[in-house]
Amino acid sequence: MAQLVYPDGSIVTRTYTARNLLQQVDYDADGAGPDPASLVASFVYDAGGRETSRTHGNGIVTNRTYNRQDNLVTSIDVPGYAGLSFSYSYDENKNVTSETTGGVMAGYSWTASYDAEDRLVSWQRRNGDSQSWTLTLVGDWQQFVENGTTQNRTHGPTHELLAIDGTGLTYDPKGNLPQDHEGKTYVWDFDNHLSSVTVPADASGIEGTHTYRYER
């Protein structure tokens, strides 16, 4: 699609490279023709068709580099904004093993490790936060450790969670959880949509009853 005209007369124009890659998007608010301020974004690609640079309408540029000859992003950089600089590393199976953030966000950089089945088993943030998982062969969480606090879990033959740290869990005939190990209660509608959650004072989260509505 090269152009889209809206009922109010505004026009979005898209131009493409010789390889049919999106090159530029412009917005004309009144239909009188584009001007320099109408640029939404423009794009630059390498020989492999991977986006290497994106210029936004406000002048901010986002640059990307890639790993080897595939589509794994190794860095995202916004010149002039140190806190918007990210670099990534991967293992031989293309699992992301680290994200390094620049500037004031450096404390949020993290590393991760995986088991032989490429399942995430540990995650550590530079600021000291950490999580780790002990998994069964079929992927059930036997143990979850967050910042040094251990949570042990028991699962049933159909992999439903039966207990957390010895506190049993039960389910309704449709398999919905009416109450969890912290005492939070859940109400489900006929279509198994969560309709309300009640959080007691001593549980994690915001105390009170929270309700949800859905389209029909």
- 56-90: per-residue pLDDT in tens? 999 999 999 998 778 999 999 999 987 889 999 99
Is 159 inside any structural domain? no
**Would you state the pLDDT for residue 37?**
57
Taking residues 128-149, what's their average pLDDT?
A: 96
Is 192 inside any structural domain? yes
Max Cα–Cα distance, the chain, nearest Å: 69
Taking residues 144-160, what's their average pLDDT?
A: 95
Given a cut of 80, is residue 176 above it in pLDDT? yes
Is 43 inside any structural domain? yes
Q: What total number of domains does the chain contain? A: 2
154's CB contacts (< 8 A; 6+ apart) are 161, 162, 163, 164
Per-residue pLDDT of 183-213, as tens digits, reads: 999 999 999 999 999 999 999 999 999 999 9
- Could you say which of 15, 34, 59 is where a domain stops? 59
Is 114 inside any structural domain? no
**Calpha distance 102→11 (Å, rounded):** 38
Is 111 inside any structural domain? no
Is 28 inside any structural domain? yes
- Could you say which of 21, 43, 59 is where a domain stops? 59
- Could you say which of 9, 27, 59 is where a domain stops? 59
**Would you state the pLDDT for residue 12?**
92
Residues spanned by the domain of 14: 1-59
Is 180 inside any structural domain? yes
